[in-house]
Amino acid sequence: MSKLLFPFFILATFIFTQCVPPSDEIMTDVHVDFTNPFLQNLYTLQDKGLSDSLYRYFRHEDPTFRYQSVLAFASLKDSAAVDSIVKVLQDPVDEVRVAAAYALGQIGSARAEQPLIDAFDRYDTSGVSRYFNAAILEAIGKCGTQTMLENLASISTYRPTDTLLMEGQAWGIYRFALRDLTSPAGTSVMLNFATSLKYPVNVRMIGANYLSRAKNIDLVNGDSLISPALAKEDDPRVRMALAIALGKTKSERAVNVLLYQYNLERDYRVKCNILRALTNFEYEKVKATVFQALNDPYTAVGITAAQFFVDKGVAEDASTYWQLAKQPGRKWEVALKLYAAASRHLPYSFEESRKYLNWELKRRFENAPSAYEKAEALKALAQYGWNYRYIRDAAYPSDLIPVRTAAVEALANIARMPNFNGFFGGGNRVRQELSDCFRDAIENGDVGMMAVASEALRDPELGFKATFDSLVILENALKKLRLPQEIETYNEVKKTLDYFKNIENGELAKPKYSHKIDWKLITDFKPESKVILKTSKGDITLRLMPNYAPGTVANFLELIRDKFYDGKNFHRVVPNFVIQGGCPRGDGYGSLAYTIRSELPYLHYDREGYVGMASAGNHTEGTQFFITHSPTPHLDGNYTIFARVIDGMDTVHRIEIGDVIREVVIEVPK
């Protein structure tokens, strides 16, 4: 099945010419076109969350309206709609049935399992229902029981040419794994899918992502299949996931294959994943390759290598990390992670060295030209717990928002030190001081600081119930926070207040409808138009997808028109995952005075270059967006896809934290 599954098939194949057909004509064509005012009106019901008003379209004579109304519940995720949607599984139009199956999976109710099983067309020998059957298999993975997982894994009749059904089976088993439901049989199926070239590449990709992400699966003997598959695989989407999976086997064969593959590898994303996989093996065996990776021309590889030394470094090499951090020409992102590794692993007895290391890091913080470099310096300083007072005193008063947020994150990392009590000689006094730091962060009203501090305070492993008695401060903070734009921080504070009051599963704020779709922007938008992000590293050209996420596209166009994005930073860059921008604060906690709705049609993040909306939960989106470096299918169904990169992926791969979106322009075809 293609990336966009049945919707592209619908749009390319069928033409919808009018809303109400002649009474003697039965319509079977589905065509989504949001320049149609009648379809706009229907979609507005979804945007407002009016479930009851959507139900009446389930029996509309026009299948486009049936399709769009039932698909709305994939975004609304309203469990009260399950029984009504189940009836649509019998719709005469395949695309409508597919939408119903997908919506039921999105809702995730166990009540949908049996109706989905009953609706599966077991007698579809001609393949007429292959889209529908594939959608059912994936949907069951989102709502089914362990027994159904075993049944799904037992299917052995699909041939490699049955691409859609094999993808459906693979997606279903993968979705079970994201719910922490796995089985030896399911793992065996996915291991077979991931490592055999006889299967379609998308099936291999899904299987490999299962192996890399599923928890508590036994891959001890999987190296005999994964190792040769990694060497033979041409598609980097599969290789990068196989590398992580091979690391999970922890075998001697695996480490040798990974080291060999690293030296052959030309795709920086696969290199990043190999370095991550190497954390599972003996340090001395792999360190030479990781040291080599520090000098890779891709900064992302160097960052990943330096993070290896933070996580897995040893005291004997702490001075080496320190010296490498100061190497001329070293990118600051890599240098400061090496400083972090040196600070973390330098023996406590090296008092003079510690003094100079701390002095250098403090100078790096004070003299850094950007907020993001300062923030990284704070993280490095936090590797030595006794720096907590300096972090508080130097960074809390900063005029730079990302620095203030990073300061609280650094203090939270100190609070989470695994040897906290031993390091601080009991730790009670320091724990109290950190508790006071988090109280101050909440009291000062900075939403980023408040969110991070709240999360740390309610961590049951940190013991702040014994030190924090300022519930009035939490209550006052809630009263001052503005909804909906500060909903993420509001809910973090609310969860912490409930924690201290011993309230389990307290009610959180839910975004109310606050920003209507400007349909004129969609009507006037020419489908062939391109959106160009002009960045400090080059241009990134996007193709918007208004027929899948009209509300998000309209919001994006509105922000472009208002020049909102001009001058904003990419405030978050995770190697071989995403680049993220569009935050008015520059730390990920910024928003405007509204939220927009999540729009979650049947799409997969199965390739690089998809543009999605950052979110703190359903319907909390606003201005922040991300672009993927590689497949991220664990985001499917939870993060709106509204565009894709059609040119400039090389720029996406070169973007570093702090890089600027200089301007966003719309190029209209002549």
Q: Are 95 and 172 members of one domain?
A: no
Residues 588/571, Cβ–Cβ less than 8 Å: yes
Residues (pLDDT < 70) of the chain are: 1-25
d(CA 510, CA 77): 13
Which CA distances in Å does 521 have to 27, 203, 600, 666? 29, 38, 20, 12
Residues 636/599, Cβ–Cβ less than 8 Å: no
Question: Does any domain span residue 431?
Answer: yes
Q: Are 112 and 183 members of one domain?
A: no
Work out the angle between the directed axes of helices 163-178 and 130-143 (0-180°, nearest 10). Answer: 10
Q: Are 552 and 453 members of one domain?
A: no
- Residue 73's nearest CA partner among 426, 656, 581, 602 is 602
Question: Does any domain span residue 336?
Answer: no
Of 185, 211, 242, the position where a domain reaches its end is 242
Q: Are 529 and 635 members of one domain?
A: yes
- Give the β-pairing of 625-628 and 641-647: unpaired
Burial class of residue 36 (count of CB atoms within 10 Å of its CB; 0-12, 13-18, 19+): middle
CATH code: domain of residue 560: 2.40.100.10
pLDDT computed for residue 20 by the predictor: 45
Q: Are 11 and 135 members of one domain?
A: yes
- Residue 235's nearest CA partner among 214, 207, 254, 255 is 207
Of 488, 509, 530, the position where a domain reaches its end is 509
User: Hey, which residues does 641 pair with through a beta bridge?
Assistant: 612
Q: Are 500 and 531 members of one domain?
A: no
Q: Are 9 and 127 members of one domain?
A: yes
pLDDT computed for residue 126 by the predictor: 77
Q: What is the total count of domains within the chain?
A: 4
d(CA 549, CA 553): 6
Residue 145 falls in which region: left (phi positive, over 0), alpha (psi -120 to 50) or beta:
beta
d(CA 314, CA 347): 9
Residues 380/340, Cβ–Cβ less than 8 Å: yes
Question: Does any domain span residue 250?
Answer: no
CATH code: domain of residue 90: 1.25.10.10
- Can you give the C-alpha Rg of the chain in angstroms? 26
Q: Are 553 and 430 members of one domain?
A: no
Residue 541 DSSP SS3: strand
Residue 642 DSSP SS3: strand
Question: H or E segment at 212?
Answer: helix 201-213
Nearest-5° Cα angle at 451, 626 to 634: 35
Question: Does any domain span residue 567?
Answer: yes
Nearest-5° Cα angle at 573, 514 to 380: 115
Residue positions counted in the chain: 670
Outline where 294-345 has alpha helix (H): 299-312, 318-325, 332-345
Of 509, 539, 562, the position where a domain reaches its end is 509
Nearest-5° Cα angle at 614, 97 to 503: 90
Q: Are 541 and 604 members of one domain?
A: yes
Question: Does any domain span residue 332?
Answer: no
pLDDT computed for residue 12 by the predictor: 38
Question: Does any domain span residue 259?
Answer: no
Question: Does any domain span residue 282?
Answer: no
Exposure b/e, 528-554, CB count within 10 A at least 16 = b = ebbbbbbbebeebbbbbbbbbbbbbbb
- Residue 651's nearest CA partner among 589, 600, 609 is 609
Q: Are 431 and 488 members of one domain?
A: yes
Question: Does any domain span residue 157?
Answer: yes
Q: Are 583 and 501 members of one domain?
A: no
d(CA 299, CA 656): 8
User: To 10 degrees, the CA torsion angle through 472, 473, 474, 477?
Assistant: 120
Burial class of residue 145 (count of CB atoms within 10 Å of its CB; 0-12, 13-18, 19+): middle
Question: What's the N-to-C CA distance of the chain in angstroms?
Answer: 34
User: 3-state SS of the chain: helix, strand, coil percent to 5?
Assistant: 55, 5, 35
Q: Are 420 and 534 members of one domain?
A: no
d(CA 211, CA 205): 10
> Domain containing 527: what range?
519-667
d(CA 561, CA 581): 17
pLDDT computed for residue 15 by the predictor: 34
